[in-house]
């Protein structure tokens, strides 16, 4: 369980006292009446006047003193919450003083820069040396950086004359994208892993052009590569064995341009692209395949890895991937091609905007016979919009380009591998 630092006070902000003048006015009117009664009758009314004057002042002083002994504790039950996961956080208000708090109001809020997510209020009497514990259950629909904590906390004296607004602050919570686990990567639109022009098998996978030897078939093995001619002659099944490749690497360009949809729909599209990226990087690194990632934004995002142990650093860095008005991945690739020494890695483009820049780049890559996989994110698109995307890329597909369409975040595994989607 994660716990924030015990005190959620912002030390750079002072407590703000205020008075409720309506209540104060009624009180002063009562003082005047008692004063007149004491002046004419003395005795009991004079004593009552002194009590009436001193007691509210005493309670206000005690309330002010008590606020120095208030602590706030925020605990989360998940170390690294993931989009769609249930997150419980426990909010504790602790009164460490011997003075009770007559009235305490707290407003708790969870928000993100572009969407307000959740808010609730607490109103209570807090006894001396006591703790109030409140548990909230949240489910975050989108990855990103959220603020969780106190938006405001106010204490009040028993007579309602005096309120004290305490300095508080939010805590930052990072919601990570989901990790989809691929067992196979479909590199063509027809569902086959073998591909068209110029494609090399993935590193560590069998290259069917590199035959090495025959081995006797054993129960449970795949019959895909049985040498049927040998079987017809001898009546004993043999399997063909192939060498494995070891030099395939991948260079991924992620499209981080904002689209014209409303906030929630845009976030849904962006999360789908991020989860496609995470899925592929996880798949490649698990097989020790060198992979690099580039994306435009406020600054250029770069990542390079070649081993499964490096995935965690990449996964954390995905929170730095922000979608905004920025360069097309086609423009970023063109800039890299002139400024960087690009190797012969398989180029992977992930985009949700099929515009002229993407179409032109795919045509150019086909002419250059560069190994390229174009992955189009169709999340939140209508059927006519999907058809327009397919039509714009029809030439690329028919000329041997490797083209994949991902319908939404729930179908990533199915669309990339042709298998049933599952999360681990």
Q: What average pLDDT does the structure give for the chain? A: 78
pLDDT at 192: 39
Judged against a pLDDT cut of 50, whether residue 209 lies above it is answered with: no
Judged against a pLDDT cut of 70, whether residue 71 lies above it is answered with: yes
Show the tokens assigned to 343.
């190797």
Residue pLDDT, tens place only, 270-289: 999 999 999 999 999 998 89
Give whole-number Cα distances, 284 to 75, 205, 313, 381, 393, in Å: 36, 12, 15, 28, 26
Mean pLDDT value across residues 48-67: 79
Separation between Cα atoms, residue 411 and residue 276, nearest integer Å: 10
Could you give all domains of the chain from N- to C-terminal order, each with its CATH number?
2-175 (2.60.40.10), 206-244 (no CATH), 250-417 (3.40.50.410)
Model confidence at 105, pLDDT cuts 50, 70, 90, reads: confident
Show the tokens assigned to 23.
């209540």
Model confidence at 148, pLDDT cuts 50, 70, 90, reads: confident
pLDDT at 5: 37
Judged against a pLDDT cut of 50, whether residue 13 lies above it is answered with: no
Give whole-number Cα distances, 161 to 19, 52, 64, 102, in Å: 6, 13, 12, 12
With a pLDDT cut of 90, the percent of the chain lying above it is 22
Model confidence at 418, pLDDT cuts 50, 70, 90, reads: low
């Amino acid at each position: 369980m994660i716990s924030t630092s015990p005190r959620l006070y912002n030390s750079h902000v002072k407590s703000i006292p205020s008075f409720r003048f309506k209540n104060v006015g009624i009180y002063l009117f009562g003082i005047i009446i008692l004063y007149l009664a004491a002046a004419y009758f003395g005795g009991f009314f004079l004593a009552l006047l002194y009590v009436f004057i001193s007691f509210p002042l005493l309670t206000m002083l005690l309330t002010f003193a008590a606020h120095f002994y208030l602590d706030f504790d925020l605990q989360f039950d998940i170390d690294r919450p993931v989009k769609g996961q249930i997150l419980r956080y426990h909010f504790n208000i602790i009164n460490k003083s011997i003075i009770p708090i007559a009235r305490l109001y707290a407003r708790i809020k969870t928000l993100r820069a572009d969407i307000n997510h959740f808010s609730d209020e607490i109103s209570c009497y807090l006894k001396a040396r006591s703790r109030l514990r409140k548990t909230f259950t949240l489910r975050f629909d989108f990855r990103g950086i959220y603020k969780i904590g106190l938006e405001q906390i106010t204490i009040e004296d028993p007579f309602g004359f005096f309120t004290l607004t305490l300095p508080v602050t939010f805590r930052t919570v990072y919601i990570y994208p989901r990790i989809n686990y691929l067992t196979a990567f479909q590199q063509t639109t027809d569902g086959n892993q073998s591909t068209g022009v110029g494609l090399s098998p993935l590193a560590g996978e069998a290259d069917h052009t590199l035959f090495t030897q025959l081995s006797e078939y054993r129960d449970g093995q795949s019959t895909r590569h049985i040498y049927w001619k040998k079987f017809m002659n001898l009546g004993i099944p043999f399997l063909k064995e192939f060498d494995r490749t070891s030099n395939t690497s991948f260079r991924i360009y992620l499209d981080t341009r904002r689209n014209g949809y409303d906030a929630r729909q845009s976030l849904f599209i962006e999360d789908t692209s991020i989860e496609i990226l995470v899925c592929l990087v996880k798949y490649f690194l698990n097989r020790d395949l060198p992979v690099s990632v580039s994306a435009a934004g406020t600054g250029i995002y770069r990542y390079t890895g070649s081993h499964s142990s490096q995935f965690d650093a990449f996964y954390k860095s995905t929170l730095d991937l922000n979608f905004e008005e920025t360069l097309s991945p086609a423009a970023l690739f063109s800039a890299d091609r002139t400024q960087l020494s690009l190797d012969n890695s398989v180029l992977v483009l992930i985009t949700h905007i099929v515009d002229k820049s993407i179409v032109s780049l795919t045509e150019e890559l086909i002419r250059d016979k560069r190994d390229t996989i174009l992955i189009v994110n169709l999340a939140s698109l209508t059927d006519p919009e999907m058809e327009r995307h397919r039509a714009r890329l029809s030439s690329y597909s028919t000329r041997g380009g490797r083209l994949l369409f991902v319908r939404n975040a729930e179908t990533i595994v199915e669309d990339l591998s042709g298998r049933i989607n599952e999360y681990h």
